[in-house]
A and B are shown apart, each in its own frame.
Chain A
Amino acid sequence: MARKKSNQYRILITCAAWGVALILSFPIIWTLLTSFKTEIDAIASPPKLFHFNWTIENYFIVQERSDYFHHFWNSVIISIGSTLLALVIALPAAWSMAFIPGRRTKDILMWMLSTKMMPAVGVLIPIYLICKDLGLLDSRLALVVILMLMNLPIVIWMLFTYLKEIPGEILEAARMDGANLKNEILYVLVPMAIPGIASTLLLNVILSWNESFWTLNLTGANSAPLTAFIASYSSPEGLFYAKLSAASIMAIAPILILGWFSQKQLVRGLTFGAVK
């Protein structure tokens, strides 16, 4: 819309947009504020917005009482591990479909996508029993593998849509110059594909970090990532609002910050390139 808008209109619409933005993000802002309160201030009536005694002791108490870093580390290993594993398996597949498409490439892509549609609950029992038999019920390894399989279709799809945008002529030229397949991938393709690979990694780390079906059903105290760690606060201890808030902020902060950088990739990755 090239038409010039009056300043008055801009100010009005800015107020409206910011009002809505603040309302929608209010639960997060409120949680952040509450995490700096004492327990008494946290349930004060009328609620205290800013004028309370700011404290950061809640964060230390959460760490001390429920060993936040242990679960944080579990989340890191599970989300990054499953994403990297998926990347290693997906990259060759995406590469071959993007650059050496066959007659059935489209069908294969569609079929891969369709595996994503399978509801997790449909395979809960077998996976649970397999893990139980293999002694993997409370292990990070099982989650790394399961989340890798869950996200593999998305990883392949995202890589595929990014690699497809690299002109094939460049690869032909490299081949003409005598590069073998390994060198072609290593020195030509990978450098050009780095941005796409990075976005793929980012989105999948976010998805795995927040995954809360398998992480809740297959973990115990030992391997629980932050999703399960926070679920333990729904017990009576959850009534301590300030500590609940501190724990919540600690669980979401890393991914919230990553997420802000991934807005564009999010659309692309989650719509399988259908909306641009």
Chain B
Amino acid sequence: MSTLHSRRAAKVMLTPSVLLLFAWMVIPLGMTLYFSTLRYNLLMPGATPFVGLENYYWFFNDPAFGVSVFNTLLLVGGVLTITVIGGILLALLLEQPIFGKGIARILVISPFFVMPTVSALVWKNMFFNPVNGLFAYIAKLFGVPPFDFLTHAPMFSVIVIVAWQWLPFATLIFITSLQSLDSDQIEASEIDGAGKLQQFIYIVIPHLTRAMTVIVLIQTIFLLGIFAELLVTTNGGPGVASTNLTFLVYVRSLLQFDVGAGAAGGIVAVVLANIVAFFLIRIIGKNLEA
């Protein structure tokens, strides 16, 4: 049993972390909330009158808002679909008895360590570029006119880039999860005459459910905040065709200096993320008890 003395020590040791995180969460968020109720533009110094929910009204009625929410969800959904399905298949493949498994795994995992600005630039210039890109060359080989990916399919291109970065993460977690699969269960099912497909549907998939949930939720947190890839490749365009919520807030506040509108957008982003976080916290919390 811990003593009264050690309890006090525990509190002292915990305090700095708790205070810092509390301040980090409450102060800036409170300021954002406050700014979102002001008419506040950095280009127009002077009075910053209270305008209530006006910023939200304009933000919600901004044609870019609908597009950005749609793009945010499209980006999250697209990348999640690719990484979860691709991740399961890759994990199953890499768990087979292959030669040079270690090196093959390193190759698959590598994209995760490439910083977003580098992967975005490499894809943009060396693959998607309609003149010198590799895809343009491949198109030429087949006699098809080269396709300008970033202009005509900006969201698709960004999804490809981001999925490429996150596929290794999903794969790695599925591999970890597969390794804890009970081999007795597989053998028992084999004796009972289950085929490969049945094993996959009734044993492997249920076993991977928790890993899948964790991947979906954690990636969602990161994917809601995708920024660098957009900045470097499409710059949110053409027009606002590839602007997501994060990028829209950046444009409003740091490029157009409209602090009020930007802050309102920031609060919308926080609410969106909190809906996701609510589920994530519950699942991880449940796991902590087990």
Stretch at the interface among A51-59, A61-69, A187-195, A244-252: A244-252
Chain B interface category by residue count: 35 or more
B280 cross-chain contacts in A, Cβ below 8 A: 117
User: For chain A residues 123-177, which have a beta carbon within 8 Å of chain B?
Assistant: 123-130, 149, 152-153, 156
Q: Are the CB atoms of A231 and B232 closer together than 8 Å?
A: yes
Interface residue from A156, A263, A275 paired with B177 (Cβ < 8 Å): A275
User: For chain B residues 256-279, which have a beta carbon within 8 Å of chain A?
Assistant: 259, 262-263, 265-267, 269-270, 272-274, 276-277
Residue of A nearest to B167 (CB): A24
- A138, B221: Cα distance in complex, Å: 27
Give a binary string over B107-118; 1 marks a CB under 8 Å from any A CB, 0 the rest: 111111111111
Residue of B nearest to A226 (CB): B115
A46 cross-chain contacts in B, Cβ below 8 A: 137
Is B13 close to A, CB under 8 A?
Answer: yes
Q: Are the CB atoms of A122 and B32 closer together than 8 Å?
A: yes
Task: Find the residue from B118, B214, B263, B269 having the highest chain A CB count within 10 A.
Answer: B118
* Interface residue SS majority, chain B: helix
Known: A120-B227, A216-B228, A239-B125. 6 other contacts (CB 8 A): A3-B190, A28-B114, A93-B17, A100-B6, A258-B113, A275-B210
Query: Footprint of B on A, CB under 8 Å?
Result: 1-3, 5, 10-11, 13-14, 16-18, 20-22, 24-25, 27-28, 30-31, 34, 43, 45-47, 89-90, 92-93, 95-97, 99-100, 102, 106, 108-110, 112-130, 149, 152-153, 156, 181, 206, 209-210, 212-213, 216-217, 226-228, 230-231, 233-234, 238-239, 241, 244-245, 248, 251-252, 255-256, 258-260, 263-264, 266-267, 270-276
Query: Footprint of A on B, CB under 8 Å?
Result: 2, 6-7, 9-14, 16-18, 20-21, 24-25, 27-29, 31-32, 35, 90, 93-94, 96-101, 104-119, 121-127, 132, 134, 137, 140, 164, 167-169, 172-173, 176-177, 180, 183, 186-187, 190, 210-211, 214, 218, 221, 224-225, 227-228, 231-232, 245-246, 249-250, 253-254, 259, 262-263, 265-267, 269-270, 272-274, 276-277, 280-281, 283-285, 287-288
